[in-house]
Structure 1
């Protein structure tokens, strides 16, 4: 079976990561170079000259063309070699694979298959990421030494917060009083927690009275292969959700290769939007939660089974982990479906 889903969009970067010199990043086992053309349009090309495999990102630019810094072969944005300094003849096989890229919601997306098959309508929606009047988002990134599906397991089973996140935003046991459900809508999977009639969780402090009783929820949405949106909310007990508030988060995983994962995250808010202090606090809080709490346990668990088949290791089921289990099964089905379609 193919390792990766192809007919889908993978997050390559936050838009502000791609500066004047572009960005190099391994994605789906390939070294990639993301850069802007003179028009401002984004381009993505495998960062490897076909002559002696030097990174094109280490060369120079000639207009929109890339000049290899090793022997001077020049490549157009579509990957075709357009100049050979040693001959008028372009060598056979001198073209480089390129990928379709789109910027949406301050996110740079890369299509996993052939550029001509890219469908922008399939880009997952993250309208809450861009800053707006009275709206502020902080973003982050970390590289995990683990296969991306193990990151999905973690995010689709938020019961782990009671144990992993004791130093940041553990729920003081509220998970155990909650109800978990997994719902499938087409190729989208929902892994939701509903925790009614509880004291205000930490994220509600300052937004409700200290002696209030609230209903609390986590709604996680999964889009194949590993793009997730989380809404964490609370409202007065017994009232409709609209009477309270919800905070949106992005949790997006992109395979660097079989054993490493790019983990992009964001946190948005509608208060203190001009406060660098709040920005700094949230970056520190979530940086600690993901880098110092999630990442070590995911990496350690993956190290125990690295290179082995997940199902053959016979993982136990606790019921509350069905979000990750079903995401794995759905992904397997989608990849097999692609294989049939592409045969």
Structure 2
């Protein structure tokens, strides 16, 4: 049985807990261990010979070498210092040259699940915290109408600055002129609808009668001007973005079955520390049968836009550190990001309250 243990309370950062967070993608776990710090927890991720995924504290219980410096074997993960072998639950199976294995020879493990090629890790408030439900599904990754690819970025910036960026796509006309941008004035004046259901915030932007931006024009045979949409769904663990366009007046923008060029983005934004984050992303598109498959083009140009976002967000954070706490002015495009921040703060406060009075693990 997997032993799920959290670090001492003193080392837990102020993030919402009792949540599934994105830890990576299935294709990242091959024949070597993967070191990754999530919510302040140094972890090693690996896949056993029978295909089971595992997450352990990245520290051997003997001389504290990171287990990510070891090797993956059929039965588990072997430390690269003195060869102690651990199974997926953190239990030591073998100590070379020694028959007796002490009961304390184990390391902390975390619940790691694999669903739709996404790795999800459970971060609980207390040592005995267990998920009440499976991690979110993402059916786009197995939808035959779509093809996708993705990657991972590391940000030297707090994760909520990335949320702000994803929930406010008005910046496209200024930051992403060569790919998915388009007319900046149209972006800033797009009809904007923001709604909330529980912990989820949805931002919908419509831009009818637009010029197709470069990525769109290269991927789809539009006849001329287009009706364009952007739908962003924020969840505390990830963000889903459905963007696309169709020929002008081809259908209603509120029709969930509308045709045309589609891009469906998955964005797993997971804190590394208080001031750094991991950004796990995929982009899926629906190739037009009459054109050369644009999937790689869409993937490459999406990656290029994220590189541009990364430059902006990290520069923004450096400036925040340089100037310190100064008042800022909100404008009309900030409604979605502000609601998401309130959700995170409410969940963070609830996690902090739940930890009160709990002894360190």
Give the TM interval when normalised to the shorter protein. Answer: 0.7 to 0.9
Partner Cα separation in structure 1 for residue 73 and residue 136 of structure 2: 34
Runs of 5+ in structure 1 lacking a partner?
none
Residue in 2 that maps onto 1:187: 199
Specify the alignment match of 1:69 in structure 2.
80
Residue number among 104, 108, 111 corresponding to 2:119 in the alignment: 108
> Is residue 230–residue 241 contact of structure 2 (8 Å, CA) maintained in 1?
yes
Aligned residue for 1:70, secondary structure, equals coil
Q: Distance in 2 between matches of 1:260 and 1:329?
A: 20
2:42 counterpart residue number:
31
- Secondary structure in 2 matching 1:140: strand
Task: Report matched runs for 1:281-320 at 5 Å.
Answer: 281-291=297-307, 293-306=308-321, 312-320=325-333
When residues 338 and 251 of structure 1 are mapped into structure 2, their CA distance, relative to the original with a 3 A threshold, is same
Task: Name which of 333, 336, 343 aligns with 2:346.
Answer: 333
Equivalent in the alignment of 2:26:
15
Paired with 1:147 and 1:19, the residues of 2 have a C-alpha distance of 29
Query: What's the RMSD between the two structures over aligned residues?
Result: 2.9
CA offsets, 1:291-328, max 9 Å, x none?
A: 1x11111001111224998xx54332112112222211
Residue 107 of structure 1, CA deviation: 0.9
| 1:117-266 → structure 2 map (5 Å cutoff) | 117-121=130-134, 123-130=135-142, 132-173=143-184, 174-202=186-214, 205=217, 206-210=220-224, 212=225, 214-225=226-237, 227-235=238-246, 236-237=248-249, 239-240=251-252, 241=255, 242-245=257-260, 246-266=262-282
CA distance in 1, matches of 2:130, 2:322: 32
Alignment TM-score, normalising by the size of structure 2: 0.82
For the residue of structure 2 that corresponds to 1:128, the secondary structure is helix
Distance 1:307 1:325, change over 3 A: farther
Instruction: Provide closer, same or farther for how the CA distance between residues 87 and 266 of structure 1 changes in structure 2, counting only shifts above 3 A.
Output: closer
Deviation at 1:197, TM superposition (A): 3.9
> TM-score by structure 1 length?
0.86
Query: Which consecutive unaligned segments of at least 5 residues does structure 2 have?
Result: 1-11, 357-361
| Distance verdict in 2 for CA 1:256–1:276, change over 3 Å | farther
Map 1:41-120 → 2, pairs under 5 A = 41-61=52-72, 63-84=74-95, 94-113=105-124, 117-120=130-133
Aligned-partner Cα distance in 1 for 2:279–2:245 = 26
Q: Distance in 1 between matches of 2:258 and 2:102?
A: 66
CA contact (8 A) 2:53 2:113 kept: yes
Output aligned runs, 1:268-283, within 5 Å.
268-271=284-287, 278-283=294-299
State how far apart, in whole Å, the 1-side matches of 2:150 and 2:25 are.
8
Offset of 1:260 from its aligned partner? 2.1
8 Å Cα contact 1:233/1:244 also seen in 2: no
